[in-house]
């Protein structure tokens, strides 16, 4: 046997030995990954397929999960990890390897892509042990329970978050999970489902979040506005003090959720955030929608919701409830197809479908739960940010940018301000650094109420937080994160500026389209 072949065989045997010692069982490659298919914003930006098309591994310890990640050929090699039993501090240790970056005391999905973690058998419980995503993409977590994760006391894990995401995370689908605590911050717990520091294109569906002071946040502070494009649907929020979710900047689509016993506040849209809130059922709760604990206002579009025994506080400084008769103060365009259940049947549908170990049933949009078939997907070997772009929906009317002027704060070598108004997505403007501004201008006041920012192929998701500014007056027309459709109150102006405040990599604007309606 040649020396190179011997070395490869020795390496393979070492990987198997680590896996066996850790409690991991290797299985033949499987074409199917998660059950069903991603929904909501997780379908955008190239889609979310997790470990589809890769090897399937079964794990009964946290160390085995880490060993499976570290045993891959690369950090982007697709893998499905089937989890059974109880995962806790006693069986979760760091495993080293070139395809992973793990740690003790937490399930660490760091600097990796194309992974599915799915509970099988009699169930998978992460007991006092959180799941942490950092600098990762194309991740699916399905059919697991995460409970009693603490940030203080003993033992601690993941900063007290059941599932936490931070630092350039893209395309995550969390589905049919149960996230629960046993109290609030004074008892040592933090959030159940947190996203911060440039986390985008996430869906939380058919899940249960309960018995916690904090449901979850999008953005860790009023300056962390690089997060967004998050969908919440068919979830149960029960016995929660606040943050269902707290949304700072960005866009959220919140539909067909059941909210029960929200004690202090519910959906908290602030710092320029925009939430589309439709066909939800709120019961026995207080201040279920609005801007709370800040004067940095957020916005919402509401329709079809049911408010059953909901109480509202009086408006005042740092307290802006949407009720008692919530009305829309913005519009939000949704780029994907979805089916709405009537709000009246949401409690029953969510009761039958949400959470781990409920048969992975879903709604068909007519209040009738059903079990989806396994989904077969083509292998994915690269993060979804390199996949073909998802083009924002077309807007009726004339693109007013065509024939207008353009300028900006700076431009990278080889780019042009005029490339954003030439009708060609294949040409673009980039700032000289990671931030900058680009403007469309006219010779006289022009009425504008809608903007579409389009990124060229292969660069989707590079634009982080932004502001859209009336250059004539300096007024901020809208703010958020990521490219796409931006709507605001119709404004007559001679120059409109798209200001990029943060980015991942080099941001590129292919087209800066403007419309009167």
Q: Give the tokens for residue 38.
A: 């991603």
User: What is the rounded radius of gyration, in angstroms, for the C-alpha atoms of the chain?
Assistant: 23
Instruction: Annotate 111-124 with DSSP letters as a single string.
Output: S-EEEEEEEEEEEE
Those residues with Cβ within 8 angstroms of residue 159's Cβ, 6 or more apart along the chain or in another chain: 130, 151, 190
Residues 6+ apart with CB under 8 A from 490: 447, 448, 449, 516, 517
Taking residue 15's Cβ as centre, other Cβ atoms within 10 Å add up to: 16
How far is it, in rounded angstroms, from Cα 97 to Cα 104? Answer: 14
- Please state, as a whole number, how many other Cβ atoms lie within 10 Å of the Cβ of residue 396: 7
Cβ atoms within 10 Å of 306's Cβ, excluding its own:
16
CA distance 176 to 179: 10
d(CA 86, CA 346) in angstroms, rounded, equals: 31
Pull the structure tokens for residue 516: 């009167």
CA distance 109 to 120: 20
Cis before 494? omega within 30:
no
If you ran DSSP here, which 8-state letter would residue 402 be given?
Answer: T
- In terms of Cβ atoms closer than 10 Å to its own Cβ (0-12, 13-18, 19+), residue 475 is exposed
Helix (H) or strand (E) holding 15: helix 3-22
327 exposure class (CB count in 10 Å sphere: 0-12, 13-18, 19+) = exposed
Q: Which residue has the tokens 């900063």?
A: 159
CA distance 255 to 341: 9
CA distance 207 to 350: 9
Catalytic residue among 243, 270, 274, 450: 243
For residues 357, 243, 166, 92, the Cα torsion angle rounded to the nearest 10 degrees is -40
Query: 3-state SS of 307-323?
Result: EEEEECCCCECCEEECC
| Residue 121: both structure tokens together | 């058998």
Q: Which residue, 253, 259, 236, is CA-closest to 177?
A: 236
Is 243 marked active-site? yes
Q: Is 286 exposed, middle or buried (0-12, 13-18, 19+ CB in 10 A)?
A: buried
Which residues are the active-site residues? 243
């Amino acid at each position: 046997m040649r020396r190179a072949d011997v070395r490869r065989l020795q390496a393979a045997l070492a990987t198997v030995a680590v896996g066996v010692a850790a409690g991991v069982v290797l299985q033949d490659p499987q074409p199917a990954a998660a059950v069903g298919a991603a929904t909501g914003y997780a379908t955008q930006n190239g889609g979310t397929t997790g470990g589809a098309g890769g090897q399937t591994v079964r794990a009964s310890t946290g160390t085995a999960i880490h060993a499976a990640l570290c045993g891959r050929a690369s950090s982007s090699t697709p893998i499905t990890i089937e989890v059974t039993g109880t995962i806790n501090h006693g069986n979760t240790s760091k495993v080293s390897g070139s395809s992973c970056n793990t740690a003790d005391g937490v399930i660490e999905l760091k600097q990796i892509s194309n992974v599915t973690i799915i509970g099988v058998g009699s169930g998978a419980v992460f007991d006092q042990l959180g799941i942490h995503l950092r600098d990762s993409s194309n991740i699916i977590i399905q059919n697991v329970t995460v409970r009693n994760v603490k940030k203080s006391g003993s033992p601690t894990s993941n900063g007290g978050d059941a599932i936490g995401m931070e630092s350039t995370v893209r395309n995550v689908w969390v589905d049919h999970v149960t996230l629960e605590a046993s109290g609030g911050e004074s008892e040592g717990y933090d959030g159940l489902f947190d996203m911060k520091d440039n986390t985008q294109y996430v869906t939380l569906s058919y899940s249960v979040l309960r018995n916690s002071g904090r449901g979850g946040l999008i953005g860790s502070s009023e300056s962390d506005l690089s997060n967004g494009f998050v969908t919440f649907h068919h979830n149960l929020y029960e016995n929660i003090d606040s943050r269902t979710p707290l949304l700072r900047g960005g866009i959220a689509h919140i539909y067909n959720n059941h909210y029960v016993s929200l004690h202090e506040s519910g959906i908290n849209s602030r710092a320029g955030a925009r939430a589309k809130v439709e066909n939800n059922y709120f019961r026995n709760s207080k201040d279920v929608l609005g801007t709370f604990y800040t004067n940095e206002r957020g916005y919402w579009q509401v329709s079809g919701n049911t408010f059953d025994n909901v109480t509202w506080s009086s408006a005042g400084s740092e307290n802006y409830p949407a009720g008692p008769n919530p009305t829309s103060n913005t519009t939000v365009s949704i780029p994907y197809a979805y089916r709405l259940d009537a709000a009246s049947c949401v409690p029953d549908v969510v009761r039958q479908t949400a959470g781990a170990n409920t048969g992975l049933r879903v709604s068909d949009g007519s209040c009738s739960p059903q079990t989806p078939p396994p989904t077969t997907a083509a292998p994915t070997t690269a993060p979804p940010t390199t996949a073909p772009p998802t083009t924002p929906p077309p807007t009726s009317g004339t693109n007013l940018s065509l024939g207008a002027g353009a300028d900006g704060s700076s431009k990278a070598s080889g780019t042009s301000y005029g490339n954003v108004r030439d009708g060609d997505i294949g040409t673009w403007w980039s700032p000289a650094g990671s931030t900058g501004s680009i403007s469309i201008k006219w010779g006289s006041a022009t009425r504008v109420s809608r903007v579409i920012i389009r990124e060229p192929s292969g660069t989707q998701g590079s634009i982080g937080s932004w502001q859209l500014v009336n250059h004539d007056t300096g007024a901020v027309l809208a703010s958020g994160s990521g490219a796409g459709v931006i709507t605001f109150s119709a404004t007559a102006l001679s120059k409109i500026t798209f200001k990029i405040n943060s980015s991942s990599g080099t941001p590129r604007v292919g087209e800066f389209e403007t419309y009167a309606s």
